[in-house]
Structure 1
Amino acid sequence: MSKPMLMPWRLDASEAGLQPPVMLACHMVDEAWEVAEPVQAQAFFRAIGARIARAYPLSEAHSNDEIFAAMNAFWAESGWGRAVLRFARGGLQIEHSDLPLAPSGMDEGRWHETTVAVLSGIYDHWLGQLGGGASIRTRVIGSSERSVEFFYGA
């Protein structure tokens, strides 16, 4: 995974100002939430997540450990945190922590909703490609400012 797709969204604390791609992305996020109903905006950002996941398939990973390591390698490269995955009754529990902070000037709640929707789309696609199927969706079961807990399964 040497081509981190989320890098234009990566905001290091040492950054003094927003670079043009990040500014554009922030405006696009705000505009999507302004013109669309919440369900539509979430679907849009989930679709972006699925597109990112298609660009970074986990097909080379075969064992659970390799799959989980590949996911976390992607998150580390992109600066979007890390995940702990546990098998649970009827599915998979995903604890995703160290979410990126909102860019300066952006509403933190809106940023969090966007980040969670993008992550949901990524997990939907990755886990669907690994055998989960199109009818199973990633659901949020808990959330805080810098983390989100998902459940993927029946």
Structure 2
Amino acid sequence: MSKPMLMPWRLDPSETGLQPPVMLACHMVDEAWEVAEPEQAQAFFRAIGARIARAYPLGEAQSNDEIFAAMNAFWAESGWGRVVLRFAEGGLQILHSELPPAPHGMDDGRWHDTAVAVLAGIYDHWLGQLGGSASIRTRVLGSSERSVEFFYGA
């Protein structure tokens, strides 16, 4: 995981203006939400998340600790926070925190919905590759401005 796919979203808080890749991405996000129904936009951003996960698989991680470490290494390199995984009845609870704030000028709610959908797609793919079923989807249990709680399981 040497070059995180989410890097264009990483913003230094001291920046005064958006860099071209971030600006373009912000316009693309806005456009997707404006021209598509909410379910379609969510499906689109989940698909982007799955594509990111395919580009950055968890590698040879086999133990729970190795999987957890591989996920958090990716999030740390990307500037997209960190995750805590907990086994729960019927599945896995995923607590993702420290999401990056919305880029300057982007609606906070739209940014949050986009980030949550991308994360769900990433977790769907990663956990599916670790033995989950293609029919199991990562569900959102709750969220706040900078964190989201998912559940992966039956």
Q: TM-score, normalised by structure 1?
A: 0.99
Alpha-carbon distance in 2 for matches of 1:36, 1:47: 14
Alpha-carbon distance in 2 for matches of 1:38, 1:90: 28
Q: What one-letter code is carried by the residue in structure 2 that aligns with 1:68?
A: F
- Report deviation, 1:60: 1.2
Alignment of 1:23-34 (within 5 A): 23-34=23-34
Pairwise CA RMSD:
0.5
Aligned to 1:9: 9
Aligned to 1:152: 152
Aligned to 2:94: 94
3-state secondary structure, aligned to 1:83 = strand
Q: How many residues align?
A: 154
- Structure 1 stretches of 5 or more lacking a match? none
User: 2:113 aligned with 1:116, yes or no?
Assistant: no
Q: TM-score, normalised by structure 2?
A: 0.99
Runs of 4+ in 1 over 2 A off after TM superposition: none
Q: What one-letter code is carried by the residue in structure 2 that aligns with 1:25?
A: A
- Report deviation, 1:12: 1.8
Alpha-carbon distance in 2 for matches of 1:131, 1:14: 42
- Report deviation, 1:59: 2.9
- Report deviation, 1:96: 0.3
- Structure 2 stretches of 5 or more lacking a match? none
Alpha-carbon distance in 1 for matches of 2:14, 2:65: 33
